[in-house]
Structure 1
Amino acid sequence: MDGGQYVEVAPGVRLWAEQRGAADAPALLLIMGAQASGLGWPDELVDALAAHHRVIRYDHRDTGRSPWAFDERPYRITDLAEDAIGVLDGLDVARAHIVGMSLGGMLAQLLIADHPDRVSSATLIGTCALSTTDHVRPDGARVPVAELPGIAPEILEEWAKPVEDLGPEAELDRRVAHWRLLSGGGIPFDAEYFRALERRIIAHTGRYDTNGAHGRADDSGMLRTAELAGTEVPTLVVRATAEPVFPPPHADHLAQVIGHDTRIVEIPGMGHALPREVLGPLADAILEHTVQFRTAP
């Protein structure tokens, strides 16, 4: 079951979505990060998951083929989480396993907290907890959330630079350089792999610019400290050893915050990116997690 379609998630808001896998297999929704098209989930990973699931990936607002209209119709980050529910509704999916990366991992937490009846299981990658609960180190010391390791300085420096329109090839160069930083250095960087990924995303989108809408959206009202602590949604947290945006203590903190039925899987060398080398281990980890909690779509 291949091919894209449009799903109305709110009045006048139609998002592009794609499904792969058997229609009667348990649904699995992939939720990408900020300013990232659904095609940011590499085909190799999607196909591995689609051998066992009805896999759905989609373009957030202001990405890919979905509407680019933030300036005319601003929204909150929490609205992006409700969009995910809108995608499930539009595709007649009652419950789904969800996998979220980066901002997508935060949106997944909002779904765990606000719509647990729609979530069969959750996998959280490269993200931080939407909670004010202290982190407890192995030695028992308590660490306030604000004192957990921050984003690598070189990435903050890159994010602070204005994005200039110097043409599509220069934009590809910029995106590849960005992926090099996000990859974290734990695995040899394959520039051509990421260039091909971004070239495909640009072709899919039909434009090569980016508007930074998710960075401008209202991010208030996202904390879910009590709701996450009380959830019964089975959750897997991926600890990426070379993660430069939310370094490994964040994965441990996230598992502590959710607590109930939460497991951690470590992927050596993984950063804040999805190079070929991590796709097999990541697919295996997700499928080992979801097989325990599979339900009909």
Structure 2
Amino acid sequence: MEREVEVEPGVHLWVQDLPAFSASPAAHAFPALHAVAHRAAEPVLLIADADRPGPAWPDALVDLLRARHRVIRYDHRDTGRSTHAYDEHPYDLADLAGDAVTVLDACDVGRAHVVGMGLGGTLAQLLLLDHPDRLAGAALLGSTALEGTDDPPLPRPARDVLRMWQEMTDPRDERGELAWRVEYRRRLHGDGLPFDGLEIRTLEQDLIAHAGRSDALAVHAQADPEGLDRGDELPGITVPTLVVEAPEDPVHPPPHAEHLAARIGPAAHLVRIPGMGHALPSSVLEPLAELLIDHAASAEGALRR
């Protein structure tokens, strides 16, 4: 089911709300599902990275999660089919966390598991701090901790990634934009796993078709980061939080994930997916889905207790 959700006057988000499969071959892939499939599971809300629309979450991952969960994904403001009007409706990055709550309200979801990638992981941290009653659990992928005092020095993004960030808004025709996106995704992928250029090209073509436009997306870099300096509050989080370390991540390389988990403290569980970068290639989807489903089942068990 697709719908439009108004987050402020004149600003609408595209939302896709998909039910759990009543029976799925994916259930046989994960032993944990046999123990929990008969229980009602909380929905999963997927929060995408900066300037990425909802369908950037691969369909194959969504289908794996639907073996147990209703799954909701959506386009951030100024991405995909959502309203593109930053100049008329400017916002802070922190406002995008409020958008996620509005999506849950519109879908009549009282409590959900949130899964955030990159900027989505930053927004999930804000939800953990401000709306813990709406979260059954959280998973943070390719993310770093909200800024706090006495943070240790952490590695900066790789130089080639920083260079490509400077090129994001360069004028390109659709063919050039597609080629640029594939190369950018190759850099984000890292060197730990084989890179399937055709897979990424197909995904980016689908995202262009979804949006109905091929212009470069770099609006979120213009949004004010005010309100993201709340790292000192992270130890107060009590919602079970999975922190996924991607050892080949060129944006937030180790030890960013370790630092994030340490800042959260006892509520956090740190896991590593070998070879993973700042990307979701098909080779990591099954292990990632299994981690997310196991974590969700464990978090729901803790809620019942």
Match of 1:8 among 6, 13, 20: 6
- 1:40-79 aligned at under 5 Å gives the runs 40-79=56-95
- Contact 1:10–1:83 (CA under 8 A) maintained in structure 2: no
Match of 2:124 among 105, 108, 133: 108
- 1:185-224 aligned at under 5 Å gives the runs 185-224=191-230
Q: What is the alpha-carbon root mean square deviation over aligned residues?
A: 1.6
Q: Are 1:176 and 2:148 matched, yes or no?
A: no
In structure 1, the residue corresponding to 2:52 is in which secondary structure?
Answer: coil
CA displacement, residues 27-54 of structure 1 (integer Å, 9 cap, x when unaligned): 1100001000101100000010111111
Residue of structure 2 equivalent to 1:229: 235
List alignment gaps of at least 5 residues for structure 2: 22-39
Q: Are 1:271 and 2:269 matched, yes or no?
A: no
Residue of structure 2 equivalent to 1:20: 18
CA offset at residue 221 of structure 1?
1.5
- Contact 2:46–2:114 (CA under 8 A) maintained in structure 1: yes
In structure 2, the residue corresponding to 1:77 is in which secondary structure?
Answer: coil
Q: Which amino acid aligns with 2:216?
A: T
CA displacement, residues 12-40 of structure 1 (integer Å, 9 cap, x when unaligned): 32210111223974111000010001011
- What is the aligned-residue identity percentage? 51
CA displacement, residues 161-215 of structure 1 (integer Å, 9 cap, x when unaligned): 2533332111110000000100011111110000000000111100011342100
Q: Distance in 2 between matches of 1:212 and 1:5?
A: 25
List alignment gaps of at least 5 residues for structure 1: 135-143
Q: Which amino acid aligns with 2:280?
A: L
Q: Distance in 1 between matches of 2:72 and 2:8?
A: 18
- 1:115-134 aligned at under 5 Å gives the runs 115-132=131-148, 134=150
- Contact 1:99–1:105 (CA under 8 A) maintained in structure 2: yes
Deviates more, 1:98-107 or 1:167-176: 167-176
Q: Are 1:39 and 2:39 matched, yes or no?
A: no
Q: Distance in 1 between matches of 2:113 and 2:168?
A: 37
CA offset at residue 133 of structure 1?
5.1
In structure 2, the residue corresponding to 1:69 is in which secondary structure?
Answer: coil
Q: Are 1:238 and 2:231 matched, yes or no?
A: no
Residue of structure 2 equivalent to 1:293: 299
Distance 1:162-1:261 versus aligned 2 partners, 3 A rule: closer
What's the TM-score once normalised by structure 1's chain length?
0.92
In structure 2, the residue corresponding to 1:89 is in which secondary structure?
Answer: helix
- Contact 1:32–1:38 (CA under 8 A) maintained in structure 2: yes
CA offset at residue 222 of structure 1?
1.1
How many positions carry a matched residue from both structures? 284
Residue of structure 2 equivalent to 1:141: none
CA offset at residue 9 of structure 1?
2.2
- Contact 2:243–2:261 (CA under 8 A) maintained in structure 1: yes
- 1:88-103 aligned at under 5 Å gives the runs 88-103=104-119
In structure 2, the residue corresponding to 1:219 is in which secondary structure?
Answer: coil
Q: Distance in 2 between matches of 1:155 and 1:36?
A: 16
Q: Distance in 2 between matches of 1:133 and 1:238?
A: 23
Residue of structure 2 equivalent to 1:137: none
Deviates more, 1:226-235 or 1:269-278: 226-235
Residue of structure 1 equivalent to 2:97: 81
Q: Which amino acid aligns with 2:9?
A: P
In structure 2, the residue corresponding to 1:117 is in which secondary structure?
Answer: helix
- Contact 1:151–1:245 (CA under 8 A) maintained in structure 2: yes
In structure 1, the residue corresponding to 2:205 is in which secondary structure?
Answer: helix
CA displacement, residues 72-94 of structure 1 (integer Å, 9 cap, x when unaligned): 11010011010000000111111
CA displacement, residues 93-131 of structure 1 (integer Å, 9 cap, x when unaligned): 111100000000000000001111111100000011004
Deviates more, 1:181-190 or 1:125-134: 125-134
What's the TM-score once normalised by structure 2's chain length?
0.89
- Contact 1:21–1:51 (CA under 8 A) maintained in structure 2: no
Q: Distance in 2 between matches of 1:228 and 1:62?
A: 29
Residue of structure 1 equivalent to 2:155: 149
